[in-house]
A and B are shown apart, each in its own frame.
Chain A
Amino acid sequence: MEKRDTDKLIIDHTAYTTRLNSRFAARKPYTPPVAGRIQSFIPGTVVEVLVNPGDTVKEGDDIVILEAMKMKNRLKSHLDGKVVAVNVKPGDRVTKGAVLVEIA
């Protein structure tokens, strides 16, 4: 763990000279969820991709089947739209939060 004595932590407009812990130093800025992104909610393996780029989909349509913890999970579209990107193929192992398919 890297230790820096000259780090600053700002609280209520005041900059405190202190060390930052590694978790804080490595924190990612918050990004709001995007409805068109089909993301893995758990690490797992892609079993089937049910759409192709250019397909028209409706809210609630199955987009990807993701296997994790011996369960086959159907990931559904959150909106009506067009598939603009398919980033995975069957057999791919994906981490949690990976963007599998994008719909616009």
Chain B
Amino acid sequence: MAMERKIRELKEKREKMLLGGGEEAIVKQKAMGKNTARERIMAILDAGTFNEYDMFVEHDARDFGMDKKNLPSDGVVIGTGTVHGNPVAIFAQDFTVAGGSLGLMHSRKITKMMDHALKMRIPLIGINDSGGARIQEGVNSLAGYGEIFFRNTISSGVIPQISVILGPCAGGAVYSPALTDFVFVVDNISKMFITGPEVIKTVLGEEISMESLGGARVHCEITGNAHFFAASEDECFSQIKRLVSFIPRNNQVRAAFTETIPPDAGYDIDKIVPGDPTLPYDVREVIRAVADGSDFFEIQEMYARNMVIGFGRMGGRTVGFVANQPMEMAGVLDVDSSDKAARFIRYCDAFSIPLITLVDLPGYLPGVDQEHAGVIRHGAKVLYAYSEATVPKLTVILRKAYGGGYIAMSSRHLRADFVLAWPTAEIAVMGPEGAANIIFRKEITSAADPDEMRRQKVDEYREKFANPYVAASRGYVDAVIEPSETRRMLLHGLEVSENKDVQMPWKKHGIPPF
């Protein structure tokens, strides 16, 4: 009966490990609205698919009394499972064990999973809930972070990497999420910063709470470090599962096709966009009017709202939507909206997701603060990202497309595959008011009634240039279409570009304006 005894022994050992930092620590964790590491993993993965590895890993630190400390699973839970049937590698730091602090073996467990994910070409999901470096382990702990950052970088663009911040993630630790594709945060639970409130207070004398410094809202609205905001862990887990449903498991395969569901009949696409180019509307309504099932999964909803990005499906295939948002800051390109769009474009290109760009913008945001914040180099990222993207690029010019903004938003000149324009499109160097004031300055200032003359000249310019037909006459626009033809034309464009093949000149890598 040796077998039976040994099995019982194993079970006992497992039970002990499954308790993590012990019941008291778990109660504390729960009181903060937080689940335990293993509960979080189970909530994300399909039921019964989690396979845990390295449960019995132990640290061998000896200094500062660490030789007497037993840290179950060394404070991190790792393994593989599936999400909607797709295999994923996952790790979750266990805050109940020494505050989820990262020591050498802890980091080796994480990097084991990262290596595994890269080798198997499956997505990596990392749940961060850690006080930071395990200081008792000294430089070994720093080495651990470095090994993680290196793997994040090498895996970037090969497998999807998802970071979930469910507790503190401070100091150097923040750079792992920052290097990954998507960061999920939860209100009142997630905290991310390089230097905490204590240090800021002692060094600089500035007082700020953890929440105001690096809470979920801050990273969703101000810094742009996070991509998805949730009110609870449960909401966060369903967002993660939804994201996984849209993206392919690696850069060699396509995202899973679904059946084609037509958009809701309730959307009247002819009535969404006002004819007057100065009036606002919600561009997400246009996206919903053309997307399968009117389903749009928005990314960075609270950040740089003048640019809308996210996933949807067209004819059952995942597409990335990029759209100017006229109801926020008139939809201008500025530092933040450029960064937001450029990164998403590169994500879609890396993972073979076609891009659909909806254009309606007055240009770049004027101002000293924008110029000094580097709108030149940030704005250049959009040009770079669209130009180097070789996935199918479909552009619909809904209304205004002025100046540099026209060029940047997936224009023909950056090699868009299909450029469609609605009859309301105005493709010009600038709006009629601005243009008339420059071209006809002499006539206007010398006229007996300058205001009347200005009005006349503005109308003259509008009549001549504020339309899609000048661009269409040069072939910069492939077709001027009725709004109601948009979905059919986009579906056709995607079908035609199914086997798109573009050869780029050999290079080690480009030098994007980071």
Contacts and interface: CB of A to CB of B under 8 A. Distances in A.
Interface of A: 1, 5, 9, 11-21, 24, 27, 30, 42-45, 68-70, 93, 95
Contacts of B332: 9, 11
Interface stretch (B141-149, B361-369, B495-503): B361-369
Interface stretch (B254-262, B293-301, B322-330, B351-359): B322-330
A17 B369 contact: no
A16 B362 contact: yes
Nearest to B363: A11
B285 to A, nearest CB: 15
A43 B367 contact: no
B307 to A, nearest CB: 12
5 contacts: A9-B332, A16-B280, A18-B280, A27-B369, A95-B206
Given A13-B434, A44-B205, A45-B205, A18 B327 contact: yes
A9 B368 contact: no
Contact of B367 (A27, A44, A45): A27
B453 to A, nearest CB: 15
B278 A16 contact: yes
B219 interface: no
Contacts of B330: 9, 11, 16, 18
Contact of B326 (A18, A21, A24): A18
Contacts of A19: 280, 305, 327-329
A9 B366 CA distance: 10
A17 B306 CA distance: 13
Contacts of B278: 14-17
B422 interface: no
B156 interface: no
B486 interface: no
B205 A13 contact: no
A24 B305 CA distance: 13
A30 B206 CA distance: 24
B433 interface: yes
Interface string B295-339: 000000000011000000000000000000011111110000000
Contacts of A11: 330, 332, 362-363, 365-366, 431, 434
A5 B281 CA distance: 10
Contacts of A21: 305-306, 328-329
Interface in B434-449: 434-435, 437
Nearest to B274: A17
Nearest to A24: B329
A19 B280 CA distance: 9
Contacts of A1: 221
A43 B431 contact: no
B154 interface: no
**Shortest beta-carbon contacts, A-B, top 3:** A12-B434, A16-B330, A13-B433
Contacts of B431: 11-14
A19 B434 CA distance: 22
